[in-house]
Structure 1
Amino acid sequence: MMLELKHISKSFHDHLILDDISIKLPDTGLIGIQGSSGCGKSTLLYIIGMLDGNFEGEILYDHQIIDNREDFIRQHVSYMMQNKDYVPSLTVKENIILSCQVSELSYSSQQLKKIVTQLGIQDFMNQYPSQLSGGQLKRVSIAKALLKDSSIILCDEPTGALHASQAQEVMKLLQTISQDALVIIVSHDPVLLKDYCDCVLTLKKGKLNRKVIKNKATLCKEKKHRLYSLWFYPIRQFIYQRNKLLFLFLFQWIVIVAFFIIVTAMNGVFDAIEESEKGSVCVNMMTIENKSGEVFKELVSHQGTKEVTYDYHLERLNISSQQKEVNCLISFLPHQTSHILLKSGRLPKDDHEIVVSESLFHNLSGNRNLHWEYQSFQQDIHIVGVLEDSFFSQDELYCSPKVKEKIDMLKNEYALLVEAQSGKNRYLYNKFNQSYFVYSDVLERVENYQVLLSLARMIAYVFIGISFVISLLLIMIVESTIYVERQHDVAYLLSLGLKKHQLLFLSIGEAICVGGVISIGGCLLSLLVYYYINQVYHISQYIHFELKLHKIIFCQWDLYGIIFLAYFFMCILGILVPMKKMITTDMIDVLREE
């Protein structure tokens, strides 16, 4: 299974680095490559291992031209880099087995235990690379190659950052491994190469001098394959970056809760206005006046009216309670009363009986006996019912239409009081408005509030839109920053033979983790706020409405689904741009350490 290079050439900016190199390498042995700095040693090493595919010539393995670079790397090649030959977010054990998992090569726990024990790193398996010394990290790199049982082990300055004793220790280990595999070392230390290598090649002016000593031929190793899940990788990366992501999470949770409160509060206010309109005592009542200012000589009628009478100046009645003046709005009860909601009591039956709003009853301190008068008219009146509190509640008093017989002096012939049939108040309002001046406290109040709330809703949605744009930009900035810092990890994974689409899927998996934490955390917080405001604080006691979730597509919980989808989409979009850039970047530029 000999490795052979045929007419290999490589140029950088019209400068020839490797010049028509042809060489047959043995199946086993320790081969050293030396040369001056910048002569192309590492470039040659990357070409031998098929990391760099931009060259002229051919590379043969077992007498076959290598046409699938990724498969060749996964099955036969292991790398030892000078620095950072690991993924920082993974433990030592996870880094060792990662190469096998990417290559889909089977391994056993007994085999792993034997290798790490031989190398003396069994006590560091659950530690992270940052906790190990340089010599220990080199042992980890050797353990990766041994567990993968690679036929070719390429070492780029494996002793560059080590003390002399550590460097000799690493070279001895590589010398032992070379009895069953081809080990190629690039180094600036000619003494180490001379002491431990079977053959030392010198790269000078693009040429390799000296021939390689042939060792015994070996058969191609049959390896068992097994599919592994790599989804632990994005989870580990997510946990490793948790401190950097914490600010992002807090900001997004605040945005989600604010968005949730704004939407549900708007829903609650609109529902309260609608319910208040439906339950308002005078919802079907309106007053009309001639545009000419003349009196009504007769009552008008129109399709949709329930009753039409002259209006009365009820505001001229003086009302007192325990000899104290009472200020409130006074109106007649309509004939249609099925929509009126009472908190207590009943509706009036006689002319001396009245119902009042809850706020007025509270101001009267529970006193039910009142007195009203106008000129010679005087009457004691009694509260028999209290209205249910609503969004538009104010100090109001409603009397029976029977009292009209006693207050004829208050009749206003310049205005008519019209009661529309139930459900036709708006229709009748619009019809009368064509010929008369029409006044309806309920409809006009609702319309004014809805106009203001529509404007507030538009402003709120603009705020939400800007917040989401800022959220997207923040997510993209944070994820881009993290991935720029992690570009060596990306290049390292590609050097293990991980396919680009696999790396993209793992990155999307990490984005889903980020999006999941943001959306789930934000939704749980907003649900807690929703429950607290409505059920604990009882906001409806103070402002006559509560937060409401509305059906958007399927059910009232649709808002949560929209938040989930929005953040998953934003996180995935935020990760695609830096990931695409890194995947298209030449990993050799990242891995090059000379």
Structure 2
Amino acid sequence: MERGVIMLEMRHVSHRYEKDILVDQSFQFPATGFIGISGESGCGKTTLLYILAGLLKPDEGEIFFQHQPLTHDFLGTHVTMIRQNNDMIPSLNVEDNIEVGCKIAQLSGIEKLPGIIHQLDIKHCLKKYPHELSVGQRKRVSIARSLLKDSDIILADEPTGALHQEAGHEVMRLLKKASKQALVLIVSHDESLLEMYCDEIVTLEAGQLKGEISEPCHENIKERKKKHYSLWPYAVKEVFFRIRRLCALICFQVILLSSLLFMVEGLNGLRLAMHKSVAHAPLKDIYLVSRKDQEDFSLSGQNIRPHFLGESGSIKELPSAMVAILPQKTMHIVLKSGRMPEKENECLISASIASKVKDQKLTYLLDEKESLKVVGVVQEYFFVHPYVYLPEHFVSAHPEYLTHSIYEVEGKSHLPSSQQYVISNDVLEERENYEELIKIGKMAGGIFVAISLLSSLSLMKIVFQSIALQRRLDNAIMMTLGMKMRQLFLRFFEEGMIIGISIITMSYLLTYFLREYLNTMTAFTKTYHFSFTPLVFYYQADFYLLLALFYILLVGMMDAKGIRYVKKKDIVDILREED
């Protein structure tokens, strides 16, 4: 596909910056050629380049390219700027700095890179970073960028200003060669260089462009092909380049998130252990019912029996052990070892006291000694109590130890509804007491997390703000390469996401290793009877996926706020500060 006449044109352009820079100027530039712009220092030569590039909107008039007003992609697709001082991105090496112009504008042509670097003799510099280059090498990189991008227009602002004489001539020769395929406009205070190399010279004086340009060339050049490139690798390199500034932030965030996750997993493990302990507690369904006046009364039913006064006697071998009668329903009871009692003198014991029993024999000291045989050990979870559980057969043989002032009711549905009774369940009451403590712990933990989160977000904001201010020039350079505000926003957002991914990954790994260490390599579980357990809502790891997604997006959005320090209307001011 052919495009029409390639021509840059000013139509009645006026602009004032502290003084009149341009006053009603109309001027046409050819499609190719080496045009020098001279003038006294401070007359506005650099401002003129910014206006021609579309970075600065004139107060009056308009710039046209190919007889059309400048479009939003003009700078990225058709123009390369070579600045007097630094115009390289410090976080990118030479190769990336050359390619970045094409990739921002999504232009094909990267395959020409080997030939260009050979032509400019910068192959040995490809993996170096801007701070490792001489000024002359930096200028070569800028020219290589324009050649790779195959720019229609190259705007060079004092490209020889900081170079010694020979290096200055070398840059001018390279620009002269580039002008055979593009329009090269060069601003310089060195008129001898301009006269030696430029095809034409115009002078900016008192707001007027003075000089004659030969008849504009009417060439047709094939349309550049577009190619999609991801700018994600540049975001990764930027984060690594800033890693020293980010190190304290990342460490603080990892410690905070790991503490939060550890607290969540601890509370979740405690909750699950309590639930499991209650679900498998032998006496979980046994409710004790008594009258408020403590008098004897009669209560009958299939699931109701008088309370056995187990405290009337004691276990000789286990003086601290409590004695209870097993419920009728025993399906919920989990045995660590052994079996359920089948005879009158058989019993179960809690796992916490199993190690104290020898030969599986116990002596129950009632009015007479009763020999008991331990046939099973009850598994314990969170709630640990020294219990000896006797079968109902034992009660039948010792009715004298039954009381009619307290009844045991198995199952909540069989409880009497009258308010004259006092109803209690030791297992559930113990759980409620612990739940109250956990609630207090959650409240305290929530306050800690809230304060820590606010502190961390404040720190993150300060660090990101500091980095964004420090990078104003880098981002302005990106804008001169054609990066749009949307692309710049995405770059900030991607960098924040990379930081967020790094923090959340390290936090998860730290939490995992701490959890495994405490749960498997220490006596924590045996001592406290619960383990740190990952939280699950509906599916495995769903809590962690949701947390990661939320956190990564949060960090991305916080970093993306840095775009407010690089507004399009401020780009020229930022570049001027550096100049």
- Using the size of structure 1 for normalisation, the TM-score is 0.87
Q: Which residue of 2 aligns with 1:17?
A: 21
Deviation at 1:195, TM superposition (A): 4.3
User: Which of 6, 9, 12 does residue 11 from structure 2 map onto?
Assistant: 6
Identify unmatched segments of 5+ residues in structure 2. Answer: 1-5
- Cα deviation for residue 82 of structure 1 reads 1.3
Do structure 1's residue 370 and structure 2's residue 372 form an aligned pair?
no
Q: Structure 1 25/337 Cα, relative in aligned 2: closer, same or farther at 3 Å?
A: closer
The alpha carbon displacement at 1:93 in A equals: 1.8
Aligned pair partner of 1:558 in 537, 542, 566: 542
Distance in 1 separating the partners of 2:396 and 2:178? 116
| Aligned-partner Cα distance in 2 for 1:308–1:251 | 60
In structure 1, the residue matched to 2:491 is 506
In structure 1, distance between residues paired with 2:535 and 2:95 = 51
Report the secondary structure of 1:161's partner residue: coil
Indicate whether 1:397 and 2:388 are aligned: yes
User: Residue by residue, what CA displacement relative to the aligned partner does 1:472-507 show, whole Å, maximum 9, x if unpaired?
Assistant: 444443333333222222222221222222333333
Q: Give the CA deviation at 1:418.
A: 1.4
Deviates more, 1:441-450 or 1:522-531: 522-531
2:500 aligned to which of 515, 534, 538: 515
Deviates more, 1:401-410 or 1:515-524: 401-410
Q: Matched residues in 2 for 1:372 and 1:150: separation?
A: 100
Q: CA separation of 1:563/1:191 partners in 2, compared to 1, >3 Å: closer, same or farther?
A: same
Structure 1's 118 and 346: CA in aligned 2 closer, same or farther, altered over 3 A?
closer
Stretches of structure 1 that go unaligned for 5 or more consecutive residues are none
SS at match of 1:389: coil
Name the residue aligned to 1:358.
Answer: 351
How far apart are residue 213 of structure 1 and its match? Answer: 4.1
Give distance in 2, aligned partners of 1:20 and 1:179. 30
Q: State the partner residue of 1:268.
A: 269
Partner in structure 1 of residue 563 of structure 2: 579
- Judged with a 3 Å threshold, the aligned counterparts in structure 2 of structure 1 residues 400 and 174 are, in CA distance, closer, same or farther, namely closer
Letter in 2 for 1:8: V
Q: Is the 8 A contact 2:95 2:126 kept in 1?
A: yes
AA matched with 1:309: P
Aligned to 2:63: 59
Give the superposition deviation at 1:137.
Answer: 0.5
Q: Provide the residue aligned with 2:3 in structure 1.
A: none
Relative distance call for 1:234 and 1:292 in structure 2 (3 A) is: same
Percentage of pairs with the same residue: 33
Letter in structure 1 aligned against 2:69: I
Map 1:101-500; keep pairs closer than 5 Å. Answer: 101-107=103-109, 109=111, 111-208=112-209, 210-214=210-214, 217-231=217-231, 232-293=233-294, 295-296=295-296, 298-301=297-300, 306-312=303-309, 314-321=310-317, 326-364=319-357, 366-374=358-366, 376-404=367-395, 410-413=401-404, 415-421=405-411, 424=412, 431=417, 434-500=419-485
Number of positions where the alignment pairs a residue of Structure 1 with one of Structure 2: 572
**What amino acid sits opposite 2:365 in the alignment?**
E
Find the counterpart in structure 2 of residue 74 from structure 1: 76
Change (3 A) 1:28 1:585: closer
Instruction: Measure the CA separation in 2 of the matches of 1:387 and 1:300.
Output: 30
Q: Let me know the Cα RMSD of the aligned residues.
A: 2.9
Secondary structure at 2:316's aligned position in 1? Answer: strand
- Asked if the contact 1:33/1:41 (under 8 Å) is kept, the reply is yes
Q: What amino acid is aligned across from residue 523 of structure 1 in structure 2?
A: Y
Q: How far does residue 588 in structure 1 lie from its aligned partner after superposition? A: 0.9
Report the Cα distance in structure 2 between the residues aligned to 1:90 and 1:489, rounded to whole angstroms: 11
Q: CA deviation at 1:268?
A: 1.9
Contact 1:29 1:215 in 2 (8 A): no
> Is this contact kept in 1: 2:98–2:148, CA < 8 A?
yes
Structure 1 403/39 Cα, relative in aligned 2: closer, same or farther at 3 Å?
same
Structure 1 residue 471: Cα displacement: 4.0
> Which is worse superposed, 42-51 or 100-109?
100-109
SS for the counterpart of 1:277 is helix
Amino acid at match of 1:38: G
The 3 A distance-change label for structure 1 pair 566 and 169 is: same
SS in 1 for 2:433: helix
Q: CA deviation at 1:444?
A: 1.0
Deviations 1:36-68 (A, max 9, x none): 443322111111222212431122334x14241
